[in-house]
Chain A
Amino acid sequence: MTTRLDKRFARLKAEARAGFITFITAGDPDFDTTLAILKGLPGAGADVIELGMPFTDPMADGPAIQASTQRALRSGASMMKTLELVRRFRTGDSDTPIVLMGYYNPIYHMGVDLFLSRAVEAGVDGLIVVDLPPEEDDELCEPAMRAGLNFIRLATPTTDDRRLPAVLANTSGFVYYVSINGITGSASPEARNVAAAVARIKRHTSLPVAVGFGIRTPEQAAEIARNADGAVVGSAIVDAIAAELDAQGRVKSGAAERVLAFVRQLADGVHGARATAAE
């Protein structure tokens, strides 16, 4: 089955450019602002959208995404509202893939089958669930694949060649290479190490490899895009959203437009990367 993600990466390959993958947290700082940003992301150059499902205990996330999760939960975010955001986005965009990213408990609590049917119905394309390694594939990965969703796995610097085949076995859509040992939004990766790691993963799979964690500027995004099929930016965009709150925590007017302008700069970095390299 060809999914929206497959089609998107096939097109990127045909156009000989890397994909720009953006992360924002659903409901940060509120439902309406997320929806406005979400709707504007494709126009600002996002090729794939990761939408964070807020969770009280984001163990793999750094301060920026922890804070965004807290903002979202305070403004009433929930799994149902996250799915509603996807549904509303889909009414105006049927091409841009949306991947839900988060932790297992809220999904488990809703019930895996119910969650999957709701996600498919809303127009979700893939899932990244941080605390489900391949050892726990029967929990969600296998049912998700049967439901027609891509299950995107994280590979990390600790995933050695012995382990890599198991990590890649049930991965589809793309592989998300976590470029550093650490939490989101922390240290930035060395381009040299990233290139070697992407090459190593590509020896084991024909799937596109996107790289994330620690990419904050258009220059860094461009650097990654020269070495991978996609660059993921999360914390930097989430920080830009945080900067749109006034001292009372209210959203400033024009917030979505300014966040999208920053996204556009990052997108230009990614999309111009190979052109610059070829000069």
Chain B
Amino acid sequence: MSASQANSLRNGPDERGRFGIFGGRFVAETLMPLVLDLDKAYTAAKNDPAFQAQIDFMQRNYVGRPSPLYLAERLTEKFGGAKIYMKRDELNHTGSHKINNCLGQILLAMRMGKTRIIAETGAGQHGVATATVCARFGLPCVVYMGTTDIERQKPNVFRMKLLGAEVVPVTSGTGTLKDAMNEALRDWVTNVDNTYYLIGTVAGPHPYPAMVRDFQSVIGNETKSQMQEREGRLPDSLVACIGGGSNAMGLFHPFLDDPSVKIYGVEAAGKGIETGEHCASLKGGSAGVLHGNRTYLLQDDDGQIKDGHSISAGLDYPGIGPEHAWLHETGRAEYVSATDKEALEAFQLCSRLEGIIPALEPSHALAFVSKLAPTLPKNHLLVMNMCGRGDKDVFAVADHLGVTL
């Protein structure tokens, strides 16, 4: 290993699945052998050129990659500062970045001889992406989804059903993403022989955070070469929204060793961090252990997990991927937040000025861009990840704006 590799920020996690103190494998004994098997299978697949070639082929011909790196001229003009590029992952098949990860994991599941896929979903984007690859490869699919989320994401529930998936409503807790994840873990612990748990974000026990990051890194890798082509250099800053943090990790990871690139993760501040009704685990939480890893969590004085709040179901998770917790503690990335209201404004602005209806999740990233960009010089290259499209959100947004459809 060369000195530069030894000092790389991209080497994590260690063999215990730790990024600094974060990450790990905090799972019940029943699942531990499965998690170890998965680690072994993923390591072998990662080093198999045939596996990579299979993913590349499907990304090009099924997902529609590479996604464009688009210069948002009218937003750039409006904000009057940095040049704003959007990585257009909302143009992917199924409408978000989630498919990048699902494609990688389902090919891995088949390599492992698994015959049944389970997943959790919040906004429904991961559920739809999972149901999609399951339909494509002919595997039965069960998606756990909180009842609150089912109510606010009806179009995605119907999409999953059209794709042949079974959507199981989860009533425990507040019926959101964390409860869906608990229920998926209960399914996995019960069906250990044939079932593959396809986690949708960079959380869960090792190797999930690293594996999901690797499958999402196509976002950052493409951005790097596209920016080189367009501007002949690296971008100056990256901005992405964060729930669990998979789109952000995918954009950030290929740039971690480029110190000139500023990195910003945008958490959901809900009604405002000071109100307590938010999903900003880093800004408003503390270190804890949930869903197989140590990370920052929203919790009370007794270590009980608190329910988050966000207008965006996809950001409504009381934790954050452990690698983000580590990037936060080391200071390599800066984590900021945007409120429901700011996201709604950005949602409308983007629709009107760019002809792109963004999902509520990346609307949070854009809300921060609207504050950051004006402070930066015109030759500053900013990339925000447009990680999902807003079709799924139009009903909810109409509701928030007091419009009856």
Which residues of chain A have C-beta atoms less than 8 A from B16's C-beta? 135
A136 interface neighbour in B24, B34, B178, B297, Cβ under 8 Å? B24
* Count, chain B residues at interface, CB 8 A: 37
Q: Does A182 contact B (CB under 8 A)?
A: yes
Report how far A80 CA is from B190 CA in the complex, Å: 33
Q: Does B344 contact A (CB under 8 A)?
A: no
Q: Does B173 contact A (CB under 8 A)?
A: yes
Q: Which of A32-40, A99-107, A194-202 lies at the interface?
A: A99-107
Distance from B104 Cβ to chain A, minimum over Cβ atoms (Å)? 25
Which residues of chain B have C-beta atoms less than 8 A from A110's C-beta? 303
User: 1/0 per residue A137-163: CB within 8 Å of B?
Assistant: 000000000000000011111111001
User: 1/0 per residue B283-313: CB within 8 Å of A?
Assistant: 0001111111010010100111100000000
Instruction: Please determine whether A106 and B172 come into contact, CB atoms closer than 8 angstroms.
Output: no
Report how far A178 CA is from B287 CA in the complex, Å: 30
Instruction: Please determine whether A159 and B190 come into contact, CB atoms closer than 8 angstroms.
Output: no
Q: Which of B5-13, B181-189, B223-231 lies at the interface?
A: B181-189
Q: Does B88 contact A (CB under 8 A)?
A: no
Report how far A101 CA is from B305 CA in the complex, Å: 18
Interface centre among B30, B34, B178 (most CB of A within 10 A): B30
Residue of chain A at shortest CB distance from B172: A66
Q: How many residue pairs, one in A and one in B, have C-beta atoms under 8 Å apart?
A: 114
Residue of chain A at shortest CB distance from B28: A60
Distance from B160 Cβ to chain A, minimum over Cβ atoms (Å)? 23
Instruction: Please determine whether B27 and A163 come into contact, CB atoms closer than 8 angstroms.
Output: no
Instruction: Please determine whether A133 and B178 come into contact, CB atoms closer than 8 angstroms.
Output: no
User: 1/0 per residue B23-59: CB within 8 Å of A?
Assistant: 0111111111110000000000000000000000000
Which residues of chain A have C-beta atoms less than 8 A from B289's C-beta? 103-105, 108, 131
- Knowing A104-B289, A109-B288, A133-B32, the reply to whether A57 touches B302 (Cβ < 8 A) is no
Which residues of chain B have C-beta atoms less than 8 A from A186's C-beta? 190
Instruction: Please determine whether B25 and A136 come into contact, CB atoms closer than 8 angstroms.
Output: yes
Instruction: Please determine whether A158 and B192 come into contact, CB atoms closer than 8 angstroms.
Output: yes
Instruction: Please determine whether B299 and A62 come into contact, CB atoms closer than 8 angstroms.
Output: no
Residue of chain B at shortest CB distance from A132: B26
Q: Does A59 contact B (CB under 8 A)?
A: yes
Restricting to A51-107, which residues have a CB under 8 Å from any CB of B?
54-60, 62, 66, 73, 78-80, 103-107
Q: Does A130 contact B (CB under 8 A)?
A: yes
- Knowing A59-B28, A136-B25, the reply to whether A106 touches B303 (Cβ < 8 A) is yes
Instruction: Please determine whether A158 and B29 come into contact, CB atoms closer than 8 angstroms.
Output: yes
Distance from B28 Cβ to chain A, minimum over Cβ atoms (Å)? 5
Instruction: Please determine whether B29 and A159 come into contact, CB atoms closer than 8 angstroms.
Output: yes
Which residues of chain A have C-beta atoms less than 8 A from B286's C-beta? 109
Which residues of chain B have C-beta atoms less than 8 A from A182's C-beta? 30, 186, 189-190
- Knowing A106-B304, A131-B292, the reply to whether A57 touches B173 (Cβ < 8 A) is yes
User: 1/0 per residue A173-204: CB within 8 Å of B?
Assistant: 00000100111001000000000000000000
Which residues of chain B have C-beta atoms less than 8 A from A167's C-beta? 29
- Knowing A56-B173, A56-B304, A78-B302, the reply to whether A105 touches B32 (Cβ < 8 A) is no
Instruction: Please determine whether B28 and A135 come into contact, CB atoms closer than 8 angstroms.
Output: no
Distance from A275 Cβ to chain B, minimum over Cβ atoms (Å)? 33
Instruction: Please determine whether B25 and A133 come into contact, CB atoms closer than 8 angstroms.
Output: yes
Instruction: Please determine whether A155 and B29 come into contact, CB atoms closer than 8 angstroms.
Output: yes
Distance from A220 Cβ to chain B, minimum over Cβ atoms (Å)? 19
Which residues of chain A have C-beta atoms less than 8 A from B189's C-beta? 60, 181-183
Residue of chain B at shortest CB distance from A54: B304
Which residues of chain B have C-beta atoms less than 8 A from A56's C-beta? 173, 304-305
A-B contact pairs, 26 of them (CB 8 A): A57-B173, A58-B182, A60-B185, A66-B172, A78-B302, A105-B303, A106-B303, A106-B304, A108-B288, A109-B302, A131-B27, A132-B26, A133-B29, A135-B25, A135-B32, A136-B26, A154-B29, A156-B30, A158-B31, A158-B192, A159-B32, A163-B33, A181-B30, A181-B192, A182-B190, A183-B189
